[in-house]
Structure 1
Amino acid sequence: MTASQSTSTTDGEALTRAENAIQAGNPKQALDILGPLPPSDAVHLAKGRAFFRSAQYAQAAIELEAASKPFGGHAITALIEEAASLRRRADLLLLIKECRRLSPQDTRLLDAYGTILMHMGRFDEADVAFRESLQRRPNDKNTLNLLVMNLTEQGRFDEALSIMDDLRRQHPEDWKIGCNTAAILNNIGRLEESANVYRETIPLAPYEPALRLNHSIAMLKSGRMAQGWTEHEWRFGVPGHTNLPKDTLLPNISPTLNLQGKRVLVTQEEGLGDTLMYLRYIPALARTGAVVHIWGSSTLADLCRRVEGVAVVQHGGEAPAFDYHCPFISLPRAFSATPDAMGAPVPYLTADPGKASQWKKSLKADRKLRVGLVWAGGARPENTGAQMVDRQRSMPLAALALLADVEGVTFYSLQKDDAALQCLDFPAPLVDFMPQCLDMDDTAALVSCLDLIISVDTSMVHLAGALGKPVIMMDRFNNCWRWLHEREDSPWYPQMRIVRQTRFREWSDVVTRVKVLLEDAVQAQ
């Protein structure tokens, strides 16, 4: 080994130790480690991150400016998701101010500034930043894509698509532009147009996982389930899905596949709603003779244990021994060519009998229609994608005030997290037992004693639907694929009624229609 190689190895080890110190919340230690290292982009970036974590924004700006290449994004973009995970997006605006003081003509800082404003929901200000950037760099693809994203966040879909059409004409070889165009079309229900764009775009990058994953979502939304589930497996090429070996992924269930006595590890992959939805496939998996071992969330553990066919439920710890593994979201693909393509019929979840009995006693005196309310999902500000979706699917409780006029109803809050603090904003009495519900099993017991659930698109609709409860789901304009298109019912939950926005981010007409359905439910009681 040469002296230069030895130094490089030592520097790399020091950078790793500094990264570990940053992740452990010890930026001072990181700076001590980084101090003796020779200048490089990696060292400057690490110092910038450490100074940011220490709230030393002027010093952080100096390091990030030193790390920024003349082409590509500014080094500050490397901090955007990190700041979100720390719930410090607003602090990035202070850092950008310092960076712009050092490099006032750097348009990349305008793009970063607009991106952060967009993530914070300050869309008008973000629009100004992106358009100023475009004045300096007309037709820049990256900035135009950011502007399009900001327009779609405001429901200005025609403007966004007009820009994307221009970009496709100018850059017909760029699969990302076609993918983004098709995704917007799919989101707003222009499914055939979306499918046509995907057909033109996929040949440009047939092995690109992000493109194929987006295509799968469009296929599922249009009801092409068997093809969509197969295409959905491309998600394994995108970071953040499973670290388990692909060669032991559960194959499609077929007469020639012998699972007798084989241990199948079923793993949680995304949100609680997905797990609740796909638990319906566990009884069919067990009927193959497989030993079903679920490795998932602690809040769902007790519910999972009562699902027919479950042998073991684990949360936390290390991966156990298994013959095959299968993320919950791959179960529909595995069963797509079998009589169990839609899984077990509802109800496939059951409430704990003892807990449910206690709630029945508590609610025995309530002779009115018992209605559970959920008006917001989990905000998850530390996850940019989840937060942006939640802004669209959630509403303030005050938006449901019209429901309080319906007589013969007792309203029960099923709301968790910060949104539960809005309970006093409802003009009718709102019973709140949620502080007593420590996990989904407790909540399921309470839900089992209610007559109707009215909820936005959260895990609650899956829980109530899987328990066989009537559900009115208040859905966003650009709805999730699983609720299909222009459907008021759901093949997943027969007792669900979907009331969807007719205008982006506008809930008033939804609440008016829900009120009529609620009045009908009172009359039918």
Structure 2
Amino acid sequence: MASTESFDRTATISNAVTLHRHGELDQASAIYARIIEKEPGNADAFHLLGLIAMEKGDYAKAGRSILHAIKMNPENALYYVSLGDLYQCRKDREKQIASYRQALMIDPDLVKALYRLGKAYAETERFAEAAICLRQAIENNPDVPELYYELGEVYAFQKDFKRAYEAFDKAIERKPDYTAAMISLANLLRDQGHFPEADSYYRQAMQLEPDSTVLKYSRGIFYHMQHAYDEARDCYQQVIDAHPAHYGVHVNMGKLFQDRNDYANALIYYQRAQRIDPANGDARFYRSLVLLSLGEFEQGWKEYEARLEREKWQFIYPYRLSTPRWRDEPLEGKTIFVHSEQGFGDTIQFVRYLPLLKQRGGRVVFEVRPQLFDLLQGFPGVDFMVSMAGKPPVQSNIDYHVPLLSLPGIFKTDLETIPGAVPYITADAEKVRLWETRRSEDDFNVGLVWLAKPSYRHNKSCPLKILEPIFSIPKVSIYGLQKFDDPKDHAMLPFKIDNWGDGIESFADTAAAIQCLDLIVTVDTAVAHLAGAMGKRVFTLLPFSADWRWSTKRNDSPWYPTMTLYRQVAVDDWKGIVDRIVKDLSKAAAYE
């Protein structure tokens, strides 16, 4: 008799589970409830009833049921996994992680718990711990494609691209129709500039899921990065048609129009994105760049503060400081901490505001990246300079802090009041003497930079081969000031060049080399800012859609009086720029 009752109970639960899996939640719930009525001590039924409540969004009921199941059977690791899933729904990350860890205390090899904990760590950017969990899960069960996929995502965030490729590849190997893994692998290849390989995986994914908006969005970025604007716009529009409240695609559509110098439409899409998610700073940040480009500085500086409110604010500056933010309060008798931010060029451009800050009274402490420390040592307006040390700066005895690029807004800078006097950076005389012997005594000496840093290379770099005509100008000697991030770039030079960059160790060295030259020709890099800050004559090559600081259309810069701007008249038209530079450089050399 007992065996018959046990069989009936098992069959009943099995039937309920089947209904549950097929989405018949009400029927399954009713069966679980009947089982509990007959067997109040059935922990599995309480657990499964909690899962249904969670699916329905009734988190309070789900919590009661799952916790009751745990109370009855505290050694069941799966119950803690479900509890962790519930805390994930409640956005209680701390309790979510604690629940998964408790499951692993009971069963250290439970793949489901390792997988969930790995994902939770990844979502909180604890990537090293995430990788450990996922690798252990794979060791326990090497046939689960989702484990390789999540591990690939973790490696991608860690910028361990080789391992990320391998993980995504293994996921697809185990599940040939795994479109999510194909898209992630394609995105990884795309972001590394391997466009043909990325396109191959996008096309495979399209055959499997032609209506995927994730795929269309990713492919839109793929076209956008290659300046195929019509194709990118078509992909973005398809995503908007399917998901009108998709924040990211509206931001990207705005960026697309901005990249085409269509500022009116860019502002429209940024405004739409802002209405969709007012708390997200991305749209306001990109909108600020448009306003600053157009010279609308008052509103532009205000909205530029959104750079510090974005999800990726750490890319601007990696720390949140405990001291009050300075917003133009009196500084007499106070100490203010100014931190540099973003790229080297940003720091070089905006240190000009430190003497103005010092005039407000108080003591100025300036934090700068190590590569700029020697260059800016003793800079006017700075009482004490510290080097970024890879950890949060000490804030004891500091009254206020302020990001360097917030100073123009605080000082209410407009086009007429830019502090444009140069030089405000000078080279070390001893270092200058070391470089002087390497220049020609008879020719017009020109420094050249043609590669931007890797993250901007697809847009700002000019192929050296296109610049070859400037090497044939009579009485002009060309010296490279190029630092190579990748040794392959050096090995792939199309012709031999006397590259002083090979001997440059710091920006103080770069400044000394610049001082020995008559003119600098450079793409939009920190060298352009440094030469301009030194009052050296500079020819700056700009892409079709230039950075906000170069304004629009004009060929001079209010930031750097000795700089001439050369803009592309069409996307990727570097040749047209070089033709103009050859003429102007020939005139400059002849005049000298």
| Short-chain TM bin | 0.7 to 0.9
Determine the structure 2 residue equivalent to 1:455.
522
Q: Whose radius of gyration is greater, 1 or 2?
A: 2
Give the residue type in structure 2 aligned to 1:335.
F
Shift of 1:323: 1.2
Aligned mates of 1:226, 1:344 — CA distance in 2: 18
* TM superposition shift of 1:514: 1.7
Partner of 2:563 in structure 1? 496
User: Are positions 1:509 and 2:571 aligned together?
Assistant: no
Distance (whole Å) between structure 1 residues aligned to residue 138 and residue 513 of structure 2? 49
- What amino acid maps onto 1:455 in structure 2? T
Deviations 1:396-428 (A, max 9, x none): 433321111101111122111246864894657
Any idea what SS the aligned residue of 1:310 has? coil
Aligned to 1:39: 112
Is 1:159 matched with 2:226?
A: no
CA distance in 2, matches of 1:57, 1:508: 52
Q: Which residue of 2 aligns with 1:99?
A: 171
**2:421 alignment partner in structure 1:** 345
Distance of 1:15 and 1:171 partners within structure 2: 34
Distance 1:292 1:198, change over 3 A: same
- Picking from 161, 169, 178, the partner of 2:250 is 178
Match of 1:329 among 394, 405, 428: 405
Structure 1 segment 46-195 matched on structure 2, within 5 A? 49-50=131-132, 62=143, 65-66=146-147, 76-82=152-158, 84=159, 86=160, 89-195=161-267
1:300 Cα deviation from its structure 2 partner:
1.0
Paired position in structure 2 for 1:22: none
What's the offset of the Cα at 1:329? Answer: 1.8
| Alignment correspondent of 2:452 | 377
Other structure's SS at 2:498 match: strand
State the distance in 1 between where 2:438 and 2:337 align. Answer: 39
Query: Structure 2: how far apart are the matches of 1:60 and 1:435?
Result: 49
- Secondary structure of the residue aligned to 1:410 is strand
Q: 1:467 is matched with which residue?
A: 534
Tell me what 2:504 maps to: 437
Query: Mind listing any 5+ residue stretches in structure 1 that lack a counterpart?
Result: 17-30, 69-73, 380-385
Counterparts of 1:194-273 in structure 2, within 5 Å, are 194-238=266-310, 239=312, 240=314, 241-242=316-317, 243-245=319-321, 248-251=324-327, 253=328, 257-273=329-345
CA-based RMSD of the aligned residues comes to: 3.6
Q: 1:39 to 1:195 in 2, by over 3 A?
A: closer
CA distance in 2, matches of 1:63, 1:324: 52
Tell me the secondary structure at the aligned position of residue 479 of structure 1. Answer: coil
Write the distance in 1 (CA, Å) between the matches of 2:579 and 2:140.
54
The verdict on how the C-alpha distance between 1:103 and 1:486 changes in structure 2, with shifts beyond 3 A counting, is same
Q: Compared with structure 1, are the counterparts of its residues 336 and 53 closer, same or farther at alpha carbon in structure 2 (3 Å cutoff)?
A: farther
The whole-number CA distance in structure 1 between the counterparts of 2:366 and 2:212 is: 48
Matches of 2:144 and 2:418 in 1, distance apart?
54
Is the 1:283–1:309 Cα contact (8 Å) retained in structure 2?
Answer: yes
SS at match of 1:39: helix
Selected match of 1:286 from 358, 368, 371? 358
Is the 2:135–2:151 Cα contact (8 Å) retained in structure 1?
Answer: no
CA distance, structure 1, for counterparts of residue 420 and residue 564 of structure 2:
20
Q: Does structure 1 residue 301 correspond to structure 2 residue 382?
A: no
* Structure 1: distance between partners of 2:293 and 2:143: 47
Contact 1:60 1:95 in 2 (8 A): no
CA distance change for structure 1 residues 426 and 131 in 2, over 3 Å: closer, same or farther?
Answer: closer
Whether contact under 8 Å (1:64, 1:75) holds in the other structure is no
Taking structure 1 as reference, are residues 53 and 488 closer, same or farther at Cα in structure 2, changes over 3 Å only?
farther
Give the SS at the match of 2:536.
Answer: coil
- TM-score, with structure 2 as normaliser: 0.74
Using a 3 Å threshold, how does the CA distance of structure 1 residues 438 and 67 change in structure 2: closer, same or farther? closer
In structure 2, distance between residues paired with 1:60 and 1:93: 20
State whether residues 295 and 415 of structure 2, in contact with CA within 8 Å, keep that contact through their aligned partners in structure 1: no
**Relative to 1, partners in 2 of residues 1:203 and 1:275: Cα closer, same or farther, differing over 3 Å?**
same
Note if 1:319 corresponds to 2:369: no
8 Å CA contact 2:118–2:133 kept in 1: the answer is no
Task: Tell me what 1:367 maps to.
Answer: 442
Relative to structure 1, the CA distance from residue 52 to residue 459 in structure 2 (aligned partners, 3 Å threshold; closer, same or farther) is farther
In structure 2, relative to structure 1, the CA distance for the partners of 1:519 and 1:264 (3 Å cut) is same
Give the letter aligned to residue 403 of structure 1: I
d(CA) in 2 for partners of 1:48 and 1:445?
Answer: 46
Question: Take 2:591 and 2:189, find their aligned partners in 1: how far apart are those partners?
Answer: 48
Corresponding position: 1:355 with 2:431: yes
Q: TM-score, normalization: structure 1?
A: 0.82
Q: Distance in 2 between matches of 1:224 and 1:347?
A: 26
Q: Following TM superposition, by how much is the alpha carbon of 1:356 offset from its aligned partner in structure 2, in angstroms? A: 2.7
Determine helix, strand or coil for the equivalent of 2:176. Answer: coil
Deviation of the 1:162 alpha carbon? 2.5
C-alpha offsets along residues 209-261 of structure 1, whole Å, 9 cap, x if unaligned? Answer: 1222122222222222221111111122223044234771221x4xxx31123
Contact map agreement 2:471 2:477 (CA 8 A) in 1: no
Q: What amino acid is aligned across from residue 39 of structure 1 in structure 2?
A: K
- Higher relative contact order, chain-length normalized (CA < 8 Å, sep 6+): 1
Q: How many aligned residue pairs are there?
A: 487
State which drifts further: 190-199 or 444-453: 190-199
- Name which of structure 1's ranges 180-189 and 39-48 shifts more when overlaid on structure 2: 39-48
Pair 1:11–1:112, CA change in 2 (3 A): closer
CA–CA distance in 2 between the matches of 1:481 and 1:78? 33
Say whether residues 1:417 and 2:492 are aligned partners.
no
Q: Which amino acid aligns with 1:42?
A: R
Structure 1 residue 75: deviation in Å? 5.8
Per-residue deviation at 1:466?
Answer: 0.5
1:509 counterpart letter in structure 2: G
Paired with 1:336 and 1:505, the residues of 2 have a C-alpha distance of 35
Deviates more, 1:334-343 or 1:227-236: 334-343
Conservation of the 8 A alpha-carbon contact between 1:397 and 1:423: no
State the alpha-carbon separation in 2 of the partners of residues 96 and 61 from structure 1. 14
Checking the alignment, whether the CA contact within 8 Å between 1:404 and 1:427 is kept in structure 2 is no
Give CA deviations for 1:134-190 in whole Å, capped at 9, x if unaligned.
343333222111111110122110121133234334433233222111111112211
Aligned to 1:336, the other structure's residue is in SS state: coil
Mapped to 2, the partners of 1:102 and 1:427 lie a distance apart of 46
> 2: CA distance between counterparts of 1:439 and 1:295?
17
Matched to 2:543, the amino acid is R
